[in-house]
Chain A
Amino acid sequence: MTRRARITLPSLVLLLTLAFVWSLSVGAVKIPASVIINTLFDLDGDQQRFIINRSRLPRSLLAVLTGGAMALSGVIVQALLRNALASPKIIGINSGAALAVLLGTSLAPDLALAWLPLVALLGGTLAAGTIYGLSALRPMSPERLILVGIAVGLVCDAGVDFIMVTASTFEISAPLVWLTGSLWARGWQHLSAVWPFLSLLSALCLCLFFRLDLMRLGTSQATALGVNVRLERFVLLAIATLLASISVSVVGVIGFVGLMAPHIARQLVGGRHGVLLPTAMLIGALLVVLADATGRVLVPPLEISAGILTALFGAPFFVFILLTSRMETRE
């Protein structure tokens, strides 16, 4: 581990902890940090404890988990497609989930809100599978995967638009709000449904750092170094798909995290996936926790969706880094 990584990783953990505590303290009711510490360690009890335990704690934990998952998914996608501009969006997860959710609600209007995550997960995975399958019709290359990904995304978007304008607004408003990328009203039940999968997949992903290092060298070089490229590409893409679509299924589309977090992490610690993966994961978690908390602070008691905030502040920042960083060399 380099010196930079030795400094960066602990500072990120510290920052994330601070952001986490801040996120617990802010909202329609402000709760001082001292109370939060008392509550977390079970020293005190009152109404504030209720808010923290029932609402903010699961929400912030979910932010950490999904933010980390989206960032890891982004690292995998960028390594496989060898392009710092790629993101889980490119493998169709966002558009697929949106189409599936709208299709589900318009075909079965009495579908319970509790089923939406499952429908979204199905949609995201199906879209990613379609993109993979269509790209595999011809010799697969990152270029083809990206273009097919964009095209499938556009087809899904066209379907979403069609449903949105032909269905009555009442039917689709609930799924739409639910899709905009917000942690509002997410609680323990959501957390308990996803944490085993997300933590397992994240751990698996962190273990596969060396495979990503090798895949990043391109198909020919990776093959020359003994990598079974087809198999490993499939496994890694499957992990990336699941990480991102499980996240989207509970918190909706929080854009730009999967794009920004890997990029910032690369600027901080370089390109080795052994340190890049944990760094990106911490940054992703930090971004979502901060976006969620900031959304609660700006115009209380109203909330601004975390997804809108990540785009609002994240994207210009991202463009800035992109313009100032060096161009990348492709195969």
Chain B
Amino acid sequence: MSIELTDIRAGYGGFMLDQVTATIKAGELTALIGPNGCGKSTLLKTIARQLPLSAGTVRISGRDTAREPTKAIARQVAVLPQHPVVPPGISVGQLVGYGRAPHQNLFGVRSRTDQEKIEAALEAVAIADLRDRMVSELSGGQRQRAFLAMCVAQDTPYVLLDEPTSFLDIKYQYEVLELTETLHAAGKTIVAVLHDIGHAARFATNLVVMKDGRLYATGTPNQILTPELVEQVYGLRTRVYADPVTGSKMVSPVPNMQPSLGHETARTMCVGLD
């Protein structure tokens, strides 16, 4: 029970994932991190089979996804896209109900199990009271929870989240991350692309660090998160220290004291305004 990636090549046009081999163990909350354009979202989409593979294999629970019907994969893996489409005139209850599609026939006839799973999902993300509201009228945080509930209703062992906290206020960011943690505690295997190293260190049990389309490092946050790694991957000098309350690792940039650089920047600004 795990996601196994073997020698994967994939990607849009010019950019390719380059020979990525990795195993994402079942039961972990894995965070994919790395600088912009390193291929972390591409990797997530490749696992979800939303991008075609040029070479290599993706096995989920031992089965090659390239040979599985889309519906069979959808019973294994739920995905929260980075920018979910908000369909007009659809209520939260209806949206969450769509999560049951992989378990239903062509016409979406609901069984009693479907109904129960939908209720459970609404309860799990605490949006049962929003059931009859239109999705298009929700705030950003509520909307993200509605889509998360849809993933929960899908009732899959694996959940993939593509930057679930982007464009959310700090309060909603933590709300979504805590929900993710709850899902993980309930036994799901979760892979999330995260932008913020601090979030990843605090919530993930496993980190996958990427750079230039390749796998750079894997391990628990406490093992691998060091100033050297951050500087090598992001090109930024940082200090890494433990959060006084939670004990999880925090990253903060080292202030740059070199006066000549500051001078240089000021001159560049003048040129830019010219």
A residues near B, CB below 8 A?
82, 84, 139, 207-211, 213-214, 216-221, 223-229, 266, 269-272, 276, 326, 328-331
- From known contacts A224-B78, A225-B74, A225-B154, infer whether A216 and B85 are also in contact, taking CB-CB under 8 Å: yes
Can you name the residue of chain A whose Cβ is closest to the Cβ of B137?
A: A326
Q: What's the tally of chain B residues with a CB closer than 8 Å to chain A?
A: 37
Contacts of B249 in A (CB 8 A): none
B116 nearest CB across to chain A (Å): 19
- Interfacial residues of chain B within 124-162, with CB under 8 A of chain A in the complex: 134, 136, 154
Cα distance A139–B10 when bound, in Å? Answer: 14
9 closest A-B pairs (Cβ-Cβ)? A271-B89, A226-B74, A210-B108, A218-B85, A226-B71, A224-B79, A226-B102, A270-B89, A329-B86
B235: interface (CB < 8 Å): no
A181 nearest CB across to chain B (Å): 28
The segment out of B31-39, B43-51, B201-209 that lies at the interface is: B43-51
Query: Hey, what's the 0/1 contact readout for B75-106 against A, CB within 8 Å counting as 1?
Result: 10111010111111111001000110110101
Contact, CB under 8 Å: A213 / B107? no
Cα distance A329–B83 when bound, in Å? Answer: 10
B60: interface (CB < 8 Å): no
Cα distance A214–B104 when bound, in Å? Answer: 12
Cα distance A224–B156 when bound, in Å? Answer: 11
Can you name the residue of chain A whose Cβ is closest to the Cβ of B85?
A: A218
B73: interface (CB < 8 Å): yes
Contacts of B74 in A (CB 8 A): 223-226
Contacts of B84 in A (CB 8 A): 217-218, 221, 331
Contacts of A82 in B (CB 8 A): 85
- From known contacts A210-B106, A226-B74, infer whether A330 and B85 are also in contact, taking CB-CB under 8 Å: yes
Contact, CB under 8 Å: B70 / A223? yes
Contacts of B86 in A (CB 8 A): 328-329
B130 nearest CB across to chain A (Å): 16
Query: Chain A: interface secondary structure?
Result: loop
Cα distance A223–B51 when bound, in Å? Answer: 10
- From known contacts A214-B98, A223-B70, A226-B101, infer whether A328 and B79 are also in contact, taking CB-CB under 8 Å: no
A111 nearest CB across to chain B (Å): 42
Q: Give the most central of B45, B75, B107: most A CB within 10 Å.
A: B107
Cα distance A122–B71 when bound, in Å? Answer: 35
Contacts of B71 in A (CB 8 A): 226-228
Apart from A220-B79, A329-B136, 17 more pairs, CB < 8 Å: A207-B107, A216-B87, A217-B84, A217-B85, A221-B84, A221-B85, A223-B49, A224-B50, A224-B78, A224-B154, A225-B74, A225-B102, A226-B101, A227-B101, A328-B88, A329-B85, A331-B81
Contacts of A214 in B (CB 8 A): 98, 101
Contacts of A84 in B (CB 8 A): 88
Cα distance A224–B81 when bound, in Å? Answer: 9
- From known contacts A213-B108, A216-B87, infer whether A225 and B81 are also in contact, taking CB-CB under 8 Å: no
Q: Give the most central of A214, A266, A329: most B CB within 10 Å.
A: A329
Cα distance A219–B86 when bound, in Å? Answer: 12
Q: List 12 A-B contacts (CB under 8 A).
A: A209-B108, A210-B108, A220-B48, A220-B79, A224-B50, A224-B74, A225-B101, A266-B89, A270-B90, A272-B94, A276-B89, A328-B88
Contacts of B49 in A (CB 8 A): 223
Cα distance A221–B106 when bound, in Å? Answer: 17
Contacts of A220 in B (CB 8 A): 45, 48, 50, 79, 81
Contacts of B12 in A (CB 8 A): 139
Contacts of A328 in B (CB 8 A): 86, 88
Can you name the residue of chain B whose Cβ is closest to the Cβ of A263?
A: B88
Contact, CB under 8 Å: B77 / A224? yes
B164 nearest CB across to chain A (Å): 14
Contact, CB under 8 Å: B87 / A271? yes
Which residue in A213, A226, A269, A276 is a CB contact (below 8 Å) of B75?
Answer: A226
- From known contacts A225-B98, A271-B88, infer whether A218 and B107 are also in contact, taking CB-CB under 8 Å: no
Cα distance A224–B160 when bound, in Å? Answer: 10
Cα distance A77–B201 when bound, in Å? Answer: 45
Cα distance A221–B80 when bound, in Å? Answer: 7
A16 nearest CB across to chain B (Å): 22
Cα distance A50–B91 when bound, in Å? Answer: 51
Contact, CB under 8 Å: B50 / A217? no
Contact, CB under 8 Å: B85 / A266? no
Cα distance A328–B89 when bound, in Å? Answer: 10
Contact, CB under 8 Å: B106 / A211? yes
Contacts of B90 in A (CB 8 A): 270-272
Contacts of A271 in B (CB 8 A): 87-90
Cα distance A331–B85 when bound, in Å? Answer: 5
Contacts of A276 in B (CB 8 A): 89
Contacts of B48 in A (CB 8 A): 220, 223-224
Which residue in A209, A213, A228, A331 is a CB contact (below 8 Å) of B98?
Answer: A213
Cα distance A226–B99 when bound, in Å? Answer: 10
